Structure 1
Amino acid sequence: MPRLPSTFSLGILIMSLKLLIALVLTVLAGTLVALAGSQGGATAGSMPVFLICGILAFGVNWLAFIPANAAKTEKFYDLTGSFTYLMLMIVACALSAPLDLRSGIIAVMVVVWALRLGSFLFLRIRADGGDQRFDAIKQSPARFFLVWTMQGIWVLLTSASALIIITNDTRLDLDIFAYTGIVLWLAGFLIEVVSDRQKRKFRKNPANKGRFISTGLWAWSRHPNYFGEILLWTGVTVASLPVLSGWQWVTIISPIFVALLIIRISGVPKLEAHAKRKWGAEQEYIDYVASVPVLIPRPPQS
């Protein structure tokens, strides 16, 4: 009689199956969004430019996974993400020329954001020596590969509205949607930059070792950098609204995806849980949580 699989072997099999399903669904979702965004857009030969960018979003991260997995390192993960944004903007602009003012401004905004955040995160992980989120993940090639694949769809979905503006055959003068989107982006970018710098400066002070930040923008929100991130991508989507048609409307998922991932999955929940474990018994932290909103900023209460 054939031997029944042990509980351990069955657990490994179920985990592998879950990883495979997650991988397939991630790539499928990215493919569908890329195809939807390609409608009515520029082409390079017979290939839609938006679709080319979708392929690049995954391809760049899959290539970067190879040396990262061999070295079991996550140090270039964020840098690769920023490079992917830059690559998509360069390819989209090069293959969709001539650009109008809306397209040029949006492309520059994404490039500036990617350069700033990528360098910030790379310097942070270099200073910290690593990212504890990857400690267990990078030991499993399958899980590590899924993480790099998730970064591919993260880049594609967040930049979807920008890609629509750049690759779309419809060219419009700047209007109320463009101006509103630019203002929202500038506000979100400023909030993200200032809050990141405030937290970095706080951590560099030896007197704050092991403490939580509750000053500056962090007295208005427990996660002001995440609020800025959601706001700036919302701005890009608002700027894209007048040029959307047909299946292109799928790309308004961009800020929704960012907000969902930050609020419900990988951002706020993990940091809140970590903070609760570390400071949850301290009255100062209890008062901070009770008086400061988790995301949307509010002036400090007197």
Structure 2
Amino acid sequence: MTSFDTSAWAATLGYCAAAVVVLLAITFVVSKIAGKHSVVDTTWGLLFVGVAVVVFFCSSGHGDPLRRWLLLILPVVWGLRLAYYTGKRSIGKPEDPRYEELLDKQPGGGDLYALRMIYGLQGLLAYVIAAPIMVGGFEYHAVRVLAWIGVAVWLVGLFFESVGDAQMQRFRADPSNKGKLIDSGLWRYTRHPNYFGDACIWWGIFLVAADSLPGVATIFGPIIMTLLLTLGSGARTLEKSMSKRDGWDEYAARTSMFVPLPPRVKKAVDPGVRRTSRAGR
């Protein structure tokens, strides 16, 4: 192909939507068996895996082969790792307080309300955020430098997300750390290394798609993901519970909220300067 195949791409959008709906329908059935809606958190990463697989097969003969492979491998590796980590962490745990609070706002809302506000909303968000995959898979131009920069950004993101999660898991596994804040490892430089990594993942995927003109228009995908991670149900929600722990004020004062930065050092006042100042009054 020597141009963007609009008809094949449009048909793929429908197949991707169907994949998202099927995965969420299966998740809803599992949630009824498990007795908690938080199983949808495990499916979140799998939604992007489903979209990436559908796009890869539907774009065969339409998009650049190397870009197609990149837009398959990057989301699948990320999505499977996230699903495994989230699923393993949720085993034996009760319903997520976020979903309890949401459902309490609509007493008697039942399954239809949950389908709309939990499953439907997450499905819609995943579908929109995955736009770089759905568009990039059909770009016919050969992969250029910007795409490889995207791969590098993706690797940085995978490092921060996977290492940050592993460090948190080890911290929580130690009973002596119960009720404490982790401020070591990557958590010394950002209060949310896993969320920062997640954002980098999607900016990296976007750059792979933005290597050609149609993909540039999908910039709303990583923007929405970053806003969710910083202002939505990500960092802001988590910090509500973190702020109740001892030492939070000091930790928040010295540690960057999102982008990793060296810890801020509180400047000490020179006693001699203080005495001189008082003497001059």
In the alignment, structure 2 segments of 5+ residues that lack a partner are 105-109, 266-281
Contact 1:292 1:298 in 2 (8 A): yes
Alpha-carbon distance change, 64 to 260 in structure 1, aligned in 2, over 3 angstroms: same
Partner of 1:143: 113
Partner of 1:270: 237
After TM superposition, give the deviation of residue 89 of structure 1 in Å: 1.7
Q: 1:243 and 2:208 equivalent? A: no
Report the number of matched residues.
Answer: 254
1:14-36 CA-partner distances (Å, limit 9, x unpaired): xxxxxxxxxxxxxxxxxxxxxxx
Partner of 2:69: 104
Q: Percent identity?
A: 26
After TM superposition, give the deviation of residue 75 of structure 1 in Å: 4.8
**1:1-302 superposed matches below 5 A:** 40-41=5-6, 43=8, 48-69=11-32, 72-98=35-61, 100-137=65-102, 140-145=110-115, 146-166=117-137, 168=138, 170-245=139-214, 249-276=216-243, 278-279=244-245, 282=246, 284-301=247-264
TM-score of the superposition, structure 1-length normalised?
0.77
TM-score of the superposition, structure 2-length normalised?
0.82
Partners of 2:118 and 2:56 lie apart in 1 by 28
> Where has structure 1 moved over 3 Å in runs of 4 or more?
39-42, 69-72, 127-130, 136-140
Partners of 2:135 and 2:44 lie apart in 1 by 20
Contact 2:157 2:197 in 1 (8 A): yes
Contact 1:74 1:138 in 2 (8 A): no
Which deviates further from its counterpart, 123-132 or 54-63?
Answer: 54-63
Partners of 1:67 and 1:205 lie apart in 2 by 31
Contact 2:49 2:79 in 1 (8 A): yes
Partners of 2:91 and 2:153 lie apart in 1 by 31
Contact 2:28 2:37 in 1 (8 A): no
Contact 2:45 2:82 in 1 (8 A): yes
Partner of 1:19: none
Partners of 1:255 and 1:138 lie apart in 2 by 28
After TM superposition, give the deviation of residue 137 of structure 1 in Å: 4.2
1:199-245 CA-partner distances (Å, limit 9, x unpaired): 01000001101111111110100111111111110011112113233
In the alignment, structure 1 segments of 5+ residues that lack a partner are 1-38
1:46-67 CA-partner distances (Å, limit 9, x unpaired): x521232134323431453245
Contact 1:75 1:122 in 2 (8 A): no
Contact 2:78 2:158 in 1 (8 A): yes
Alpha-carbon distance change, 184 to 197 in structure 1, aligned in 2, over 3 angstroms: same
Contact 1:50 1:164 in 2 (8 A): no
